[in-house]
Structure 1
Amino acid sequence: MKKNVGTIDSIIRIIIGLALLSLFYFLKGNLRFIALIGFFPLITGLTRRCLLYKLFGISSCKTK
Structure 2
Amino acid sequence: MFEKNVGGMDRTARIALGAAMLLIWAFLSDPSPWWLIGIVPLVTGLMSTCPLYNFIGMNTCAKE
Q: Distance in 2 between matches of 1:28 and 1:14?
A: 21
Q: Distance in 1 between matches of 2:29 and 2:21?
A: 14
Q: State the TM-score, normalized to the length of structure 1.
A: 0.85
Query: What is the aligned-residue RMSD (CA, Å)?
Result: 1.3
1:9 aligns with 2:10: yes
- Runs of 4+ in structure 1 deviating by more than 6 angstroms, as ranges, are none
* Structure 2 gap segments, 5+ residues each: none
Instruction: Please state which structure has a larger fraction of its residues in helix.
Output: 1
Q: Distance in 1 between matches of 2:38 and 2:14?
A: 9
Amino-acid identity (%)? 40
Q: Distance in 1 between matches of 2:57 and 2:30?
A: 39
* Structure 1 gap segments, 5+ residues each: none
Aligned residues: 63
